[in-house]
Structure formats: structure tokens, C-alpha cells
Structure 1
Amino acid sequence: MNLLFKILGYVFAMLFSVGAILQYNDPDSLHWIIIYGIAALMSLLFALNKIGYTVPLILGIFAFIGFVYLYPSDFQGFDLNDGDIVTVELGREAFGLLIISIVLLVFAFRIKRKL
């Protein structure tokens, strides 16, 4: 595996782990801890070259579907001063899923390309 992608796998494993830890005070924290924890695990398995392309591909597609589902119709930004707290929270959650989706899909295509 290319060293750059191996490093990216470890970096995103760490970032998603931090994201999971920071969810402790969220109203629906268990859902997001699990989501970010799975993304961290997929990133770690990618870095260790211990995963096929189908699992990150499927999870990346599901994360993108979650992004589309959660994206607020009247997105008002990420700062609580920018708008309604519910809309801002939905926007933050949606874009978190978009980041997970992009990362997992890039990993899946990298694994598939390597085969």
C-alpha cells in the first residue's frame, strides 16, 4: 500500500476516534459514538491492510444516504449564532456523515484499484 494512504488511514482513525469521544455530551450521543467508532475502525483496518473494499464501499454509501437524509432544507451554517439550533445541529451531523462517506469511499476505491 502506498505510504500516503497508510498514513491517511491512521490519521482518519485518530480523527474519527476523537469525533466519537467528543459526542459524549450530544443528546443522541450513543448513535454518533457508534457511527464515528465504526468509521475509525474502518480507517484503522484500511491502514493495516486488513479489509476488503466491499465493507467501506457499503458503509460509505450508507453514510452518503444519511447525509442526504439529514441535510436540512434551510441550512444556516455551523455556528449556533447563525441560526436555529436544530437546523445547525442537523447541518453538523449531515456534514459529519459526508466526511465519513468521502473517506470510506476513497478507501474502498483505493483497495479496489489495488486488487
Structure 2
Amino acid sequence: MDTFFKVFAIIFTLLFGYAIVVQFNDPDALKWILIYAVAAVASVLFLLKKLKPFVYFSCTLFFLVLFVAYWPETYEGVQLNHGMKTVNIEEGRESLGSLIAAIIMLVYGLRTRFVNKKN
């Protein structure tokens, strides 16, 4: 099972890295680059077994707050292949990206907690 979580963390490190790269044309690029950098660094540190569960659970809470804060007034989808037509689409993308990061941080936290419990 350890191999599964290593591969899982590598995949999400790469996905969060990709999310950083595609932020460069965003109006608030620096903010989202830093936000996804937190997720990418947490993924690397999960691979290296350097963080305690509390840190991952804190990150989960952080990303859940972002999810709620950026949820658009009117959800219009994310329409990945049509650019940003409205602010609602952009906020929908940001919100759902935050939810994905929250779920991944929760997985890391739970895995770290249960592995630490066994040792």
C-alpha cells in the first residue's frame, strides 16, 4: 500500500505543478501560484514523510475555506476549452481546484495519522 501512496503523491505533485504553470495568464496569478505551491510542497513533503498530520489537516481547512470563499454567485461550470468567458467560470475553477487540494490534503493527513499510529 505504501507504493500506492507514493505514486499518488507523485501524481498530485505533478498536477499541482501543472496548476502553477497555467496560472501565469490569470489576473491574480501570484496568489494562485502561491496557493498551488503550498499543495505541491505538501505533496513533496508527504513523499518525504516530513510533516505531521496536524499540518495536513490545517491545509485541508485552508483549502476548504478557499473553496467556500471562491464559490461563484452563479455556478456556470468550468468550461476548460473555452477560456474565461465570465467571472463565475473563473471563480468556479478556483473553487473546485481548492476543493481538490482540500481532499488531497485530507488523504495525506489521514494516511500520515494512521501510519504514525502503527509505529
The answer, yes or no, to whether TM exceeds 0.5 is yes
The 2-side partners of 1:111 and 1:102 are apart by 14
Amino acid at match of 1:18: Y
Q: How far does residue 84 in structure 1 lie from its aligned partner after superposition?
A: 5.6
Unaligned runs of 5+ in 2: none
The 1-side partners of 2:71 and 2:51 are apart by 30
The 2-side partners of 1:99 and 1:10 are apart by 15
Residue 73 of structure 2 is matched in structure 1 by: 73
Q: How far does residue 79 in structure 1 lie from its aligned partner after superposition?
A: 1.7
Amino acid at match of 1:110: R
Unaligned runs of 5+ in 1: none
Amino acid at match of 1:73: E
Amino acid at match of 1:60: T
Residue 37 of structure 1 is matched in structure 2 by: 37
Residue 24 of structure 1 is matched in structure 2 by: 24
Q: How far does residue 85 in structure 1 lie from its aligned partner after superposition?
A: 0.7
Amino acid at match of 1:105: L
Number of corresponding residues? 114
Contact 1:78–1:92 (CA<8 Å) still a contact in 2? yes
Query: C-alpha root-mean-square deviation of aligned residues, in Å?
Result: 1.7
Q: How far does residue 30 in structure 1 lie from its aligned partner after superposition?
A: 0.2
The 2-side partners of 1:2 and 1:54 are apart by 20
Residue 14 of structure 1 is matched in structure 2 by: 14
Q: CA, structure 1 residues 96+49, in 2 after alignment: closer, same or farther (shift >3 Å)?
A: same
TM-score, L = length of structure 2: 0.89
Residue 85 of structure 1 is matched in structure 2 by: 86
Identical-pair percentage: 37
Matched residue of 1:73: which SS? coil
Amino acid at match of 2:115: K
The 1-side partners of 2:56 and 2:21 are apart by 21
Q: How far does residue 65 in structure 1 lie from its aligned partner after superposition?
A: 1.2
Residue 61 of structure 2 is matched in structure 1 by: 61
The 2-side partners of 1:65 and 1:43 are apart by 19
Q: How far does residue 73 in structure 1 lie from its aligned partner after superposition?
A: 2.8
